[in-house]
A and B are shown apart, each in its own frame.
Chain A
Amino acid sequence: MPRTFLDIFGNPLLALGAGIGGVMTVLSLNTLFCIWFERKVSAWIQRRMGPMEVGFHGTLQTVADMIKLLGKQLITPRGVDKPLYHLAPLMVFAPVVAAASLLPFSKTVVLTNINIGLVLIFMFGGFAVIGIFMAGWGSNNKYALLGAMRSIAQNISYEIPLILSALPIVLLISAKGPMYEIEGEMIAINGMNLAHITAVQADTGVWFVLLQPVAMLIFFIAILAETNRAPFDIPEAESELVAGFHTEYSGMRFGLFFFAEYSNMLIGSMLATVLFFGGWDGPILPGPVWFFLKAYLLIFAMMWIRWTFPRLRFDQLMTFCWGALIPLSIVNLLVTAFLIKVL
């Protein structure tokens, strides 16, 4: 089983510092890359060039934008609920970092190895809702408030299919247990341990997307909704709500929301990679490379989808969740449980 940072550094504080540093670095680079990538993908799809000026093919464009955002004045509009308004970007951002530290990106070294990693990630996902609400409420802006309400309703609703479509994996892993041999080592296997999930996939050579295509689809859709990506980008639907819950934010505060969104995308794709695509499992290339490759392929799919489809209406979104995804995921879960019991 992989060594954790705690094993490597010995001292918990040191491990924590290294972990946070590592995660922040990865997330920052990811955000820089993703924004550029998103602009490029949209440009390709729309037969444009995208950013071309700063750096080779505009690669440094995001850096320039970031510097611009950093230099911008942090406007605090009159009438905002100050504590909430100021805390909101951090509240949106902090859980993301915490959630990112739970993912097993490599076979040998991970940040943390917790038996209930899956639940914790969902837990941190739940935190973000509060942040969004704080932003929407604190801004004292109608569009922001409407966006926040939509966002909360959407996030809470889509958490259900998200969890329900992850549960079949937990069942599949647990069914292998209680003891399972990985590379000659018998371990007490745990269905909610992300490292175990990856290890079992790598060991059997069967990625769970093959066993659980329906769950994969639901999970992917739910992640799209959780990260407020089109066609579920209703909380920030620019044609309706201007910019949704972060309408009133400027400068780096706005940057943090952006940061959180792209980090969320990365975490969602990474989680999907772990659950359905075998995590770091892959030939020739080292594990982390595979891991990020898969995650970025999923991110590419997200962008592709965003730049292809129109947006759903809010009630349609909810109907889709409660009327289609949740029943389907329940049926899928039941069928999986059934088959595991039978086979």
Chain B
Amino acid sequence: MNQSAPDTLERASDDETYYLNMGPQHPSMHGVLRLLLHLRGEKILDCEPVIGYAHRAHEKMAENRSYIMFIPNTSRVDYLSGMIYNIGFCQAIEKMVGIEVPARAEVIRVIVCELNRIQSHLLWLGTFMLDLGGVTPFLYCFDDREEILTILDRVTGSRLTYAYGRFGGVTMDVDDVFIEQSRAFLVRLRERFLMYHALIRENVIFQERCRGVGVISEEIALKYGVTGPSLRASGVEYDVRRAEPYGGYERFDFEIPTEKAGDCLARFDVRVREMEQSCRIIEQGLTALPDGPIGPKKLIKKLKPPKGEFYFAVESARGHFGMYILSDGSDTPAKIKLRTPSFSSLSSMPDVLRGTMVADTIAIVGSIDLVIPEIDR
């Protein structure tokens, strides 16, 4: 029944191997990703991720516009942690050129980034449950996420693709309403955590589906450069916010949750605990929000960084997001290379998926939290 055996296969296969395309259009793929599965029965012998269906050439675009014009692009690379990418890019340029950021702007940035992280994780939680067949938690998560979007909407003017960062600050100041809303949201979220715990984490079916499924061992994780919560779930305590603090994170008190098991359940736990830590960070930020300007008086439009290479990384909701910027001294970058965490996580998939079942594929691919446009850039 291998009438559609693709020619990309190098490995010899016997008659009983069954090829199944998961994607590019498939209900469980959160974007246009194609996984070519080699099956025997419902067991996966091998898996080939095929990417490029959502390619938008962000990196190439960067070569044709000035630094500031690249800002809107950043939040479209990974639309779920757009804020983190956006502000990360600003921070990179600030560090590269040496622009001072006022204290208030720095704290605001941390708060909105963490809010963004929470909403990304919430969305992951929902879609992960959707992959596992639970539709209801998905909508509950979206309900919570909606709150965050409303809060961010008030200060950034956008719900998903924030172009909130500017070199040396942010576009808009936050007010007391923002602080109130954020505090109220934290209270609400902590209550909802209890509900999620009872509804999802304690659920025996959920545990059965997740425990021991899709174990990314520390070795494999390091081999492929898996980062972020997926790495921390494998027992490696690596977080850019702690390893190479940036943007004032060194002043905040938070923990880096890790788990040993490396399976879907561990990744779930790590993300949930990370949300709790983000709540803590936001609380600290709201309490210690200093007065002062939120950026330079005049918008910094033109900058000409010195010739040379520069690398800067931030911790996005999915892991280590790095920007490699090559400057030729002009006002447009010669090259910007984005190192995106989803790409590395996806690379590890064939090793992890081998030997699991089709249903597990969905759970595993769902659990590593891929954002496909981020892979394709």
Contact = CB atoms under 8 A, between A and B. Distances in A.
Instruction: Judge: A and B partners, yes or no.
Output: yes
Nearest to A145: B1
A46 B205 contact: no
Interface in B350-368: 357-363
A244 to B, nearest CB: 11
A146 B19 CA distance: 12
B208 A312 contact: yes
A82 interface: no
Contact of A240 (B139, B203, B358): B358
B133 interface: yes
B140 interface: yes
A150 B359 CA distance: 12
Nearest to A243: B27
Interface string A273-296: 000000000000000000000000
B20 interface: yes
Interface stretch (B84-92, B108-116, B124-132, B328-336): B124-132
B158 interface: no
B18 interface: yes
A42 B358 CA distance: 27
A309 B134 contact: yes
A84 to B, nearest CB: 16
Interface string B1-43: 0000000000000000010110000111000000000000010
Interface stretch (A164-172, A260-268, A313-321): A313-321
Interface residues of B, number: 31
Contacts of B206: 310
Interface in B183-208: 199, 203, 205-206, 208
Contacts of A150: 42
A313 B208 CA distance: 8
A142 B19 CA distance: 9
Given A239-B362, A240-B362, A242-B26, A316 B208 contact: yes
Nearest to B143: A47
Given A42-B135, A310-B206, A242 B357 contact: no
B28 A308 contact: no
Contacts of B337: none
Contacts of B136: 42, 45-46, 307-308
B135 A46 contact: yes
B362 A310 contact: no
B209 interface: yes
Contacts of A237: 133, 359
Contacts of A315: 357
A316 B139 contact: no
A150 B20 CA distance: 15
Given A242-B26, A312-B209, A313-B209, A230 B139 contact: no
B352 to A, nearest CB: 16
Contacts of A311: 132-134, 205, 209, 359
Interface in A220-272: 230-231, 233-234, 237-242
Nearest to B213: A313
A316 B134 contact: no
Contacts of B42: 146, 150, 314
Contacts of A310: 129, 132-134, 203, 205-206, 209
B210 to A, nearest CB: 9
Contacts of B134: 308-311
Interface residues of A, number: 29
Contacts of B359: 234, 237, 240, 311, 313-314
A238 B22 CA distance: 12
- Most chain-A CB neighbours within 10 Å: which of B42, B143, B360? B42
B195 to A, nearest CB: 12
A238 B134 CA distance: 11
A310 B126 CA distance: 11
Nearest to A46: B139
Interface string B203-232: 101101100000000000000000000000
A48 interface: yes
Nearest to A315: B357
Given A142-B18, A314-B357, A231 B133 contact: yes
Contacts of B130: 239
Nearest to A308: B136
A61 to B, nearest CB: 19
A150 to B, nearest CB: 8
A242 B136 CA distance: 19
Contact of B27 (A242, A307, A309): A242
Contact of B205 (A234, A238, A307, A309): A309
B131 A239 contact: yes
Nearest to B4: A142
A309 B199 CA distance: 8
A313 B212 CA distance: 13
Contacts of A46: 135-136, 139-140
Across the A-B interface, the 8 shortest Cβ-Cβ residue pairs: A311-B133, A310-B134, A310-B132, A239-B28, A46-B139, A313-B359, A310-B133, A239-B131
29 contacts: A46-B135, A46-B136, A46-B140, A142-B20, A142-B21, A238-B27, A239-B28, A239-B130, A239-B131, A240-B359, A240-B361, A242-B26, A242-B27, A309-B133, A309-B203, A309-B205, A310-B133, A310-B134, A310-B205, A310-B206, A310-B209, A311-B132, A311-B134, A312-B208, A314-B42, A314-B357, A314-B358, A314-B359, A316-B209
Interface of B: 18, 20-21, 26-28, 42, 129-136, 139-140, 143, 199, 203, 205-206, 208-209, 357-363
Interface of A: 42, 45-48, 142-143, 146, 150, 230-231, 233-234, 237-242, 307-316
Given A230-B133, A310-B203, A314-B359, 19 more contacts: A42-B135, A45-B136, A46-B139, A47-B143, A142-B21, A143-B20, A146-B20, A146-B358, A237-B359, A240-B28, A240-B361, A307-B136, A309-B134, A310-B205, A310-B206, A311-B209, A313-B357, A313-B359, A314-B357
